């Protein structure tokens, strides 16, 4: 790989709150050091607009490995070693960083792709080195569609799952919807899937607006959305699909006073994003996870441990990465610790496993994990810094008709 850019290797530099806890979880038990280690590389976007998600991913992976291995950090006698690279939200760094991990450093498995563009850049590298890549964070349907290959798996939710669940939560037959999304592969992929689901419901998507992820002023886009919906009758809603440093929802909320009868809605997100929900009592949407609307032993363990180490509940990307770590360990248990793709891939295909969200099943055709989603209604609790998503109903995975976009086998 001549001319590869070097990414910053963070194996020994664990950033953010809880670094000491993460370091302690990476210590390999003496009893396990007689067998070859399984090397897991995290290639995540610790710099840039998705920094928060990447930091949560790191925490979730380490906690998930601890949970799934019963605290031993080993599988079938093989210790798990974890290295971390910052791909800085750049596709070229994601590509070169993964090649560096697989080629120079001997990583057996990788987790990466906080952003969808980075995940899509990594996919061909996984195929080139014939090693399994778990995409964690990137939601674009292209990851398990046009950009997919058999070495790519995704336990985290997809744009399609977000879109289908939210369409069912915010719209019924005859509802008129206008959307604001970040102008990025994940944003456009989500709106594409939302459009299809709204058509199936009998709702109408009347306008799509996109803005750069680093936008700070949404006045122009907001005016277009409100004006478009003001010209139609019946149930009307603006749905926001956003993940960037400045949340557009508060600006749209202020503008909504001039347009009575038009609802605002968005999907469940990180705690920091959901601070904007505090002005939206009763707002409905769908989320992939919220720690307090799920009840099962796996989630109980995650919540208890996260609160003990980080003095607060686990956020959305922590839980998602936690589930990815469980999938990795359960797959390796089936192969007796062999991370080779030719044995690990068939072990993972069709595998069901327990996560903080309950059972997930990895679909054989495209390696996307099928999972429940959650319809919520926002409640404002004066003791909580964000608007609290209260469960309306579980949207079971069997109800989510997620198309298979890939034709590769």
Residue 7's pLDDT band, with cuts at 50, 70 and 90, is: very low
Q: Is the pLDDT of residue 19 over 60?
A: no
Please tell me the distance from the alpha carbon of residue 396 to that of residue 139, in angstroms, as a whole number: 19
- DSSP-derived letter for residue 11 is T
As a whole number, mean pLDDT of residues 72-77 equals: 98
Three-state DSSP state, 44:
strand
Nearest to 286 by CA among 388, 386, 163: 163
Instruction: Say if CB 97 and CB 114 are below 8 A apart.
Output: no
Tell me the average pLDDT of the chain. Answer: 91
Task: Sort 70 into a burial class: Cβ within 10 Å, 0-12 / 13-18 / 19+.
Answer: exposed
Q: What is the pLDDT of residues 191-207, one digit of tens each?
A: 999 999 999 999 999 99
Please tell me the distance from the alpha carbon of residue 82 to that of residue 72, in angstroms, as a whole number: 14
Facing residues of 189 across strands?
none
CATH assignment, 8-157+294-370 = 3.40.50.2300
CATH topology match: 8-157+294-370 vs 160-287+373-399: yes
Instruction: Say if CB 159 and CB 189 are below 8 A apart.
Output: yes
Instruction: Say if CB 251 and CB 222 are below 8 A apart.
Output: yes
Tokens of 171: 């719209």
Give the up-direction half-sphere exposure of residue 275: CA atoms within 13 A in the CB hemisphere. 6
Q: Is the pLDDT of residue 16 over 70?
A: no
pTM, whole model, 2 decimals?
A: 0.89
Q: What is the pLDDT of residues 206-215, one digit of tens each?
A: 999 999 988 9
Please tell me the distance from the alpha carbon of residue 377 to that of residue 170, in angstroms, as a whole number: 10
CATH architecture of 160-287+373-399: 3-Layer(aba) Sandwich (3.40)
Residue 409's pLDDT band, with cuts at 50, 70 and 90, is: very low
Q: What are phi and psi of 54, to 5 degrees?
A: -65, -40
- Predicted confidence at residue 245, as pLDDT, reads 79
How many residues can be counted in the chain?
409
Sequence spans of domains, the chain: 8-157+294-370, 160-287+373-399
């Amino acid at each position: 790989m001549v001319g590869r850019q070097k990414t910053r290797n963070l194996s020994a530099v664990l950033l953010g709150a809880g670094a000491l806890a993460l370091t302690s979880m990476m210590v390999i038990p003496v009893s396990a050091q007689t067998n070859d280690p399984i090397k897991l590389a995290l290639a995540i976007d610790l710099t840039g607009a998705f920094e928060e998600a990447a930091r949560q991913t790191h925490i979730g992976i380490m906690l998930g490995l601890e949970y799934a291995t019963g605290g031993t950090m080993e599988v079938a006698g093989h210790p798990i070693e974890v290295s971390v690279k910052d791909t800085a939200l750049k596709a070229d760094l994601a590509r070169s960083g993964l090649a560096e991990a697989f080629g120079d450093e001997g990583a057996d498995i990788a987790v990466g792709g906080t952003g969808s563009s980075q995940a899509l850049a990594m996919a061909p590298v996984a195929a080139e080195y014939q090693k399994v890549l778990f995409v964690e964070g990137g939601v674009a349907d292209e990851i398990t569609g046009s950009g997919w290959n058999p070495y790519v798996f995704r336990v985290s939710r997809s744009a399609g799952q977000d879109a289908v669940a939210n369409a069912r939560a915010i719209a019924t037959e005859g509802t008129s919807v206008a959307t604001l999304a970040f102008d990025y592969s994940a944003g456009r992929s989500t709106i594409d899937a939302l459009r299809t689901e709204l058509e199936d419901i009998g709702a109408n998507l009347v306008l799509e607006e996109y803005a750069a992820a680093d936008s700070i002023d949404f006045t122009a886009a907001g005016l277009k959305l409100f004006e478009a919906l003001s010209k139609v009758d019946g149930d009307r809603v603006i749905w926001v699909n956003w993940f960037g440093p400045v949340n557009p929802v508060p600006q749209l909320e202020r503008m909504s006073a001039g347009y009575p009868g038009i609802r605002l809605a968005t999907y469940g997100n990180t705690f920091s994003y959901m601070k904007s929900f505090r002005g939206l009592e009763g707002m409905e949407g769908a989320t992939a996870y919220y720690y307090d609307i799920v009840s099962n032993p796996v989630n109980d363990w995650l919540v208890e441990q996260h609160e003990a180490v980080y003095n607060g509940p686990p956020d959305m990307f922590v839980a998602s990465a936690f589930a990815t770590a469980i999938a990795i360990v359960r797959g390796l248990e089936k192969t007796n610790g062999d991370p080779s793709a030719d044995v690990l891939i068939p072990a993972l295909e069709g595998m069901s496993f327990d996560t903080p969200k309950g059972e997930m099943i990895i679909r054989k055709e495209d390696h996307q994990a099928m999972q429940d989603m959650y319809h919520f209604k926002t409640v404002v609790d004066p003791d909580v810094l964000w608007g609290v998503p209260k469960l309306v109903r579980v949207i079971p995975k069997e109800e989510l008709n997620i198309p298979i976009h890939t034709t590769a086998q």
